[in-house]
Amino acid sequence: MGERIPVVGRNTELALIRQALEATKAGTGRFLLFEGSAGIGKSRLLAEAIQQAGKLGMTVATGQATELDRVAPLSLLLTTLRTSTPPVVDADGLVELRAHGGMAADRLWLLDRIGCLIEEHARRRPLLIALDNAHFMDQLTELALVTLIPRLRGLPVMWLLARNARSERPGCLELMERPDEEFARCVRLSTLDSTAVQEYCTHAFGAPAGPGLTALAMRSGGNPFLLKHLLTTLHTQGRVSTAGGTAVVHPGENLPSDFVSAVSAQLRHLSLATRRLLEAGAVLNRPFSLNEVSDLLGRRPIALMSQVEEAVETDLLVDQGAAFAFRHDLVRDAVYERLSGPLRRALHQETASVLQRRGGSRAEVVLHLVRGGGDDAQTVAALCEAGKELARSAPGAAADMLFQALDLVPADAPERADLVARTVRLLASAGRIAEARELGESMLHETGFEVYVGLAEALKHAGQDSLVVDYTERALDLPGVPDPVRGQLLAVQAHALLNCDEPERADARAAQAIELGEPSTAAFAAAAHSAAARALGRVEEAVAHAVDAVRLADESGPEARHWHPRYWLGRALTAADRLDEADAAFDRGEQETQELGSAWSLPLWYFGRAEARMTAGRLDDAEAAALAGKEASERLGALAVVPSLLIVLAQVAIHRDELTQACDLVREARRLGQSGYRFPPQSLAWVQAQLAYAHGEPKGAVTALASVYDALEERPILLTEIAWAAPAMARFAVDAGEPQRAKHTARVARRLADASPETVSLTAAAHHAEGLVRGDLDALRAAVDAYRSGPRQLARALALMDVAHAEAAAGRRSRAITVLEEALELFTQCGAKRSMARARRDLRNLGVRPKKWKPLARAKTGWDSLTLAELRVVRLVAQGLTNRIVAQRLFLSPHTVDTHLRHAFAKLGVSSRVELTRHALLADQNSEARRSPDHVKA
């Protein structure tokens, strides 16, 4: 068995690798994921891909995850990109990343910057990124892959991953739940069939296997790794020879079928010192340096050189340059299992001491302390410190640390309550809501009030607001709750009550929390105060409370800023027509998300932007922000805001006259709402009413909004959030033959306008509603004039339509046409196809020839199908700019740019930026040709 045996039984997989590499070389990215049981041949396929990529002149960045990578955020990906030739992340780039805050403090910025570095490298040279043992990836590396793989699909970057099929960690497999056969493929490797096993034997011994050898080889179960070690063992023992052109096995000791016995047989031929070296390496449970294992064994490194050489020569260890690793995890596991219990514990304890002396990571030291069964108090303290260290960057790993600490803390220990509460919060931050709830509920009767706070926060992140109210009420009823804890419970409950449509109670609870709570709690409560004031129609008061919340958070420090009061400030500013200031608040808030590592809040910023864009009538940008928020929510497992994002998307679809899609979105939002993800009910009622009216059913629209009409005096939030809600509700009621509801809506709109005179849209909406109710043309004109001084273009266009109808009814045809054409121009800018069609129909009825207008229907595919927002992004990308620079140029989030870009890829039927640039150049040439004198003459 001298020569390396070629890959057998994997022709389909090898062809898939070749196709993916060739496509990447040509400029189109690919993603391949190989899954299978341990020893099935995943690593070998990766090695073949790496070799082929090198022959094609591609940069190869390769890495292998280990179990300890789960507590070392992003180290796997950074190491992989740094050690490629040439490096994708060079020394200067690594210094920049670390200088910006390191892996723990600024993870979202890190992901964005890493994406830019990969993008910059791929523009110069095609790149293969191959990661083995992907089931061991840490959470931040998983998030990086889920974010970067689709983002960079238009570049010559191939991602190749291998993972064990039985791993419970989903990781980047989320990408495979919606497979794209052209871009992403998941290949589940099966065992080798009998033909492949025989072929392997032929390569191993240079002759076809005889019946006895074939039967023995088939006992490997078709697992390439077991087969290799089985045949290696037979060869080492001299039990195979060639006779008559056939490889035959000689009688002897029957080899056991299980792997541990096979490895034991192989290890018997090693020296005792080499076996001790392997045992030390198995306890370390990761690639190890010679210095580490020499410290563990109490020997000088040079004294171990011959043992290392023996282990490498027998293919048990592989030299990775700076470290040695087991060729396969199964070998390491088998060696570890052969250790007796007392010896294993002693080695773990000694390993913890060695790593502490060498300045190893706290998390790794703790793992060995736990497995070594040392002093409980020391181990608990170490686990808690490690959990604190990991909390921001890897909350799931930190929670696992605290889980282990809980097992060692006595049930009556005073520190147990705080430990449970911290564990529950970490589980919630990691998206493990079911575990958080189970742990919190199981400990409610054994621990203190802090557990209620942790459980309430966990459920709040998950969007389970009704349960939040229930748990906080139960906790507040307990005797002896300290004021600071009571303040925390009241603040969390106030936010939950907002989504349960109880703004008055939320306002009262927020005021109590501010009075009782510490500064960080007061900041969170002030944010709820702001949201409640906005729901009750007190817009300027909402802004003032939000400003106070931001000030308190900035003065109190990271704990208070973790609640992100700038989100509530941005929403209050949006209601107050201060959209530029709202954008600035959302941008600063997203920066804080990066600084604090609170990734769970990322979807909130997208929803805030989507709402603001919708308010301004920028439908394309609203859709892009909402889609980016939905993807971020699903990626992070923080689904609380998804129903609200779906409502925004449904509103966009209605304005585009895509009613079937709108119905589907509403159905999905309602389904999530029924699953416990609560959101303000007036939002769902509003979009259902719009759908009913669009289908010609004004009575259905009024029915959908019946509860909103009835509570409008006390809860006018719909009128403060949506500029055209008041006139629309008045119109619905008038057309449905319910004038009293229409008059009531106009009265409430006027009250809101008088209470907040600085908010232009409220004044305009009041004029608009009054004009519709009274048939007052002057009021309608006043609405248009008021809207002109504000940012809400779509609302102005809708008011113009009503002015035009009144002018036409009064016989002033030319004025009606002028007003309709202004409205049509605004509708076109907003992309509101449904209203564009109405305006054109009205113009035709007034005798205006249709050739004056652009075609109504936008193409579904091709260059003409791109929206204005998508065109802006595509033209800058075609100039060679990165997503980050495009975002800076257009004042957008990089994720929004990515969403626009993916839509453009789909509409144009391209999969790389090279193809996208060709389309842009061709479109420019066609446009130039249409403008040329020869074209005009023709």
Name residue 767's amino acid.
Answer: H
Whole-number pLDDT of residue 529 = 93
More confident residue, 121 or 372: 121
Mean pLDDT computed over 535-545? 92
Whole-number pLDDT of residue 130 = 95
Domain boundaries, the chain: 11-188, 194-244, 261-339, 666-846, 863-930
Find out whether 614 and 622 touch, Cβ atoms under 8 Å.
yes
Name residue 50's amino acid.
Answer: I
Distances, alpha carbon 633 to alpha carbons 431, 544, 626, 925, in Å: 10, 29, 10, 41
Which of 38-42, 167-171, 226-230, 367-371 is predicted with the least confidence, judged by mean pLDDT? Answer: 167-171
Find out whether 31 and 183 touch, Cβ atoms under 8 Å.
yes
The gap from C-alpha 572 to its chain's centroid, in whole angstroms, comes to: 26
Whole-number pLDDT of residue 3 = 57
Q: Tell me the pairing of strands 317-319 and 324-326.
A: antiparallel
DSSP 393: T
> How many C-beta atoms surround the C-beta of residue 218 within 10 A?
16
In this model, does residue 771 exceed pLDDT 90?
yes
* Paired residues of 63 in beta bridges: 131
Query: How would you class 708 by CB atoms within 10 Å of its CB: exposed for 0-12, middle for 13-18, buried for 19 or more?
Result: buried
Distances, alpha carbon 922 to alpha carbons 193, 863, 925, 933, in Å: 51, 10, 5, 19
Whole-number pLDDT of residue 258 = 47
| Range with top average pLDDT, 217-226, 433-442, 625-634 | 625-634
Domain 863-930 class in CATH: mainly alpha
> Alpha-carbon distance 751 to 190, whole Å?
71
When pLDDT is cut at 50, 70 and 90, the band that residue 505 belongs to is very high
Helix (H, G, I), strand (E, B) or coil at 85: coil
Whole-number pLDDT of residue 929 = 59
Helix (H, G, I), strand (E, B) or coil at 639: coil
Which of 166-180, 559-573, 663-677, 799-813 is predicted with the least confidence, judged by mean pLDDT? Answer: 166-180
> Alpha-carbon distance 332 to 314, whole Å?
14
> Alpha-carbon distance 689 to 741, whole Å?
15
Mean pLDDT computed over 654-671? 94
Whole-number pLDDT of residue 574 = 94
SS (H, E, C) 296-356: HHCCCHHHHHHHHHHHHHCCCEEECCCCEEECCHHHHHHHHHHCCHHHHHHHHHHHHHHHH
User: In which residue are the tokens 């055209």 written?
Assistant: 724
Whole-number pLDDT of residue 661 = 95
In this model, does residue 104 exceed pLDDT 60?
no
Mean pLDDT computed over 560-572? 89
Share of the chain above pLDDT 90, in %: 36
Average model confidence (pLDDT) across the chain: 83
Mean pLDDT computed over 717-732? 92
Quick one: tokens of 175? 């990408």
When pLDDT is cut at 50, 70 and 90, the band that residue 375 belongs to is low
- Short-list 762, 677, 772, CA closest to 721: 762
Which of 153-162, 199-208, 885-894 is predicted with the least confidence, judged by mean pLDDT? Answer: 885-894
Q: Residue 788, CB half-sphere, CA atoms under 13 Å: how many?
A: 9
Residue 822: in which H helix or E strand, if any?
Answer: helix 813-830
pLDDT in tens, 606-622: 999 999 999 999 998 89
In this model, does residue 784 exceed pLDDT 90?
yes
Whole-number pLDDT of residue 721 = 85
pLDDT in tens, 140-196: 888 888 888 888 888 999 999 998 764 444 445 555 445 566 788 888 898 888 899
Query: 59 φ, ψ to 5°?
Result: -75, 135
- Roughly how many angstroms between the first and final C-alpha of the chain, as a whole number? 76
- Short-list 926, 908, 928, 929, CA closest to 917: 908
| Range with top average pLDDT, 258-272, 300-314, 543-557 | 543-557
- CATH homologous superfamily of 666-846 equals Tetratricopeptide repeat domain (1.25.40.10)
Share of the chain above pLDDT 70, in %: 87
Whole-number pLDDT of residue 50 = 94
Query: 319 φ, ψ to 5°?
Result: -85, 115
CATH of domain 261-339: 1.10.10.10
Which runs of consecutive H residues, i.e. helices, occur in 698-737?
698-704, 706-710, 717-721, 725-735
SS (H, E, C) 512-566: HHHHHCCHHHHHHHHHHHHHHHHHCCCHHHHHHHHHHHHHHHHHHCHHHHCCCHH
Query: 162 φ, ψ to 5°?
Result: -130, 135
More confident residue, 396 or 605: 605
Domain 11-188 class in CATH: alpha beta
- Short-list 166, 186, 167, CA closest to 175: 186
Mean pLDDT computed over 473-495? 88
- Short-list 416, 382, 421, 423, CA closest to 399: 423
The gap from C-alpha 621 to its chain's centroid, in whole angstroms, comes to: 20
When pLDDT is cut at 50, 70 and 90, the band that residue 895 belongs to is low
In this model, does residue 765 exceed pLDDT 60?
yes
Whole-number pLDDT of residue 937 = 44
More confident residue, 447 or 841: 841
More confident residue, 929 or 248: 248
Quick one: tokens of 887? 């975002």
Helix (H, G, I), strand (E, B) or coil at 157: strand
Whole-number pLDDT of residue 822 = 94
In this model, does residue 857 exceed pLDDT 70?
no
Mean pLDDT computed over 483-500? 89
Name residue 540's amino acid.
Answer: E
pLDDT in tens, 545-554: 999 999 999 8
Tell me the Cα Rg of the chain.
Answer: 33
Q: Do 11-188 and 863-930 share a fold?
A: no
Quick one: tokens of 802? 């009503």
DSSP 287: -
Enumerate residues 6+ apart whose C-beta is below 8 A from 434: none
Residues in the chain, overall count: 938
More confident residue, 58 or 856: 58
Whole-number pLDDT of residue 820 = 94
> Alpha-carbon distance 515 to 878, whole Å?
56
User: In which residue are the tokens 């990734």 written?
Assistant: 599
When pLDDT is cut at 50, 70 and 90, the band that residue 676 belongs to is low
Whole-number pLDDT of residue 101 = 44
The gap from C-alpha 93 to its chain's centroid, in whole angstroms, comes to: 24
Cis peptide before 86 (omega within 30 of 0): yes
In this model, does residue 430 exceed pLDDT 70?
no
pLDDT in tens, 64-89: 888 777 777 788 888 899 888 889 98
Which of 431-445, 553-567, 758-772, 827-841 is predicted with the least confidence, judged by mean pLDDT? Answer: 431-445
> Alpha-carbon distance 688 to 693, whole Å?
9
Enumerate residues 6+ apart whose C-beta is below 8 A from 933: none
